[in-house]
Each structure stands twice: as structure tokens, then as C-alpha cells.
Structure 1
Amino acid sequence: MPETWSKDGYEVSTDPDRLSLPVVHGFLRTAYWSQEIPRDTLERAVAGSLNFGLYRREEQIGYARVVTDKATFAWLCDVFVLEPSRGQGLGRWLVACVLAHPALQGLRRWMLATADAHSLYRDFGFEVPEDPGFLMARRVKDIYKTAAR
């Protein structure tokens, strides 16, 4: 059953039928973290994730995605609010709704990556790892550019 939160004429919903993939893809294909992401790659990512759409009436104006086992771990990613709707605290509210989702309670570890929103996430308890040497990552640079060839 999809979860829904409402506030001041806005809504956050996990209903997959409400998601506008053209809106999500339109933003993410130009975002610094997913530049040139192919539509089919995004579709697979959405299918394997818990998705949160942010709406003004029926228009999708934001998005967040959580990759999780719903037991111990969650990766928060692809968080955005479209430019005309920024500056109203909607991104902060979207993240609060994500963290309030009943299936995401009691997780041992949440992670995310950001180049420019550290202060937003710090307010929710995210911090630079105490021992960053504990973490490792495998990253394939320019994967979407290479895959398109």
C-alpha cells in the first residue's frame, strides 16, 4: 500500500503509478551525479527501489529514491526538487518523509552521496563517516557515455 504525506497543497507519495518517468529522467539525465543516464537504466533503477514522488496537485515537481533491504541498510539517492519549486523547504520535507516511511524504520545504516547538500542532510543526522577508511566504493566513470556507444 503506498504511503502519502500532505502539506500546504503538496504531497509526497510512494505510489508508483503516479511517477512521471519523463520528469524524473528529464532531471536526472542532466544532474551531476547521473549525467546522460539512459532511460532504460533509470527504469530498472526505479523498478528496484522505493520511490518518493513530490507533487503539487498532480504535477510531479520532485523525487527521491531509496535502495534498501528494508531491514538493515538504505541508500538515499536521486533527491531533487525542480528549479521553479525550490526555496520553499520542499526538499527538506521530502527527505523527512523518506526517513519517516514505516518500512525504513530501525535500519542500522543509511548512506548517501552529495557534492552540495551537506547542511541539508546533517540536519537529519547524516555525517561524514568517523572513519572514512572503513568505506570503499567501486565507481565506473562515464558509464553512461560509454554505454551509449
Structure 2
Amino acid sequence: MVGRRSLKADFCPSARSLDVIGDWWSLLIVRDAFDGLTRFGEFQKSLGIAKNILSDRLRTLVSRGILELAPAGDGAVRQEYRLTEMGRDLFPVMVALRQWGERHLFEADEQRSSLVERDTGLPVRLDIRTQDGRAIGPDETVILKVPEPE
């Protein structure tokens, strides 16, 4: 089996991001953390993931700064996993994945979960905009790559 190559020195921000959060279990853990799960057992029950794999993914998410361990809010000796600021910054990524899945992976009348604003119940939508606020799509963008060293 070929080992996974680290992308942490890559010039591409997408590659570096995937180096930190690029497996599906990690993204599902982050999804559940946004949904309010904080305890090992809650993640395990929600995901149906083997305990050793969950333990490894949680340890990695903590070491990479996505989650942090904090004392349980109820005063118990156990600790909880909470999203850090870096982890909370994954919210647009999670919304984008959700919207892509809604658009391409469900039939029009198929039931699915929904992301809505807590206070109003209105659906959440992510738009990509330029710095001056104009909507923009992939045909109007270009990646400015770092020149290869000579």
C-alpha cells in the first residue's frame, strides 16, 4: 500500500486544506460538531464509526487545531470536543458541500436534511462573491499559481 503524501508544503491552499481535513470521517465529525455533538460517545453513535478510527480522527483534528478538548460543561471529569475558531471557519466549506449534494445527489422529491437559520427557519444559502460584492462563477476566475523554482 502506498503511503499518503503530505501536502503541507504545497503552494495550493486547496491542497494544504485537504492535508488537514481531507478524509470523509473528519468532515463528518466536523459536521456533527457543528450540529452540537461534543462527546466521544455521541460522535460514535451518530457515525457508527469504529472506536479506534474515531479516536484517531479526533486526535488528529485536535492536533491540527480544528477541535479542542475542554472540560465538560456539566462539571464532570470527562472532556468534550469543541470546534476552535479554525474549526468554525470550516462552516462555509460544509455549507458548500451540502449545497453541492442537494443539487446533484438527490431527486427533486427525495427527503433530505435541511440547513436553516435557527431564529427564522429560513434556508441557508452560500454565494461566491468578489471582494466588491458581485456574484461570480468558475468561468470568471483564474488561479494565479506560484512560479516553479528554477
Common topology (TM > 0.5): no
Higher relative contact order (CA 8 A, sep 6+): 1
Structure with the greater alpha carbon radius of gyration: 2
Higher percent of residues as strand: 1
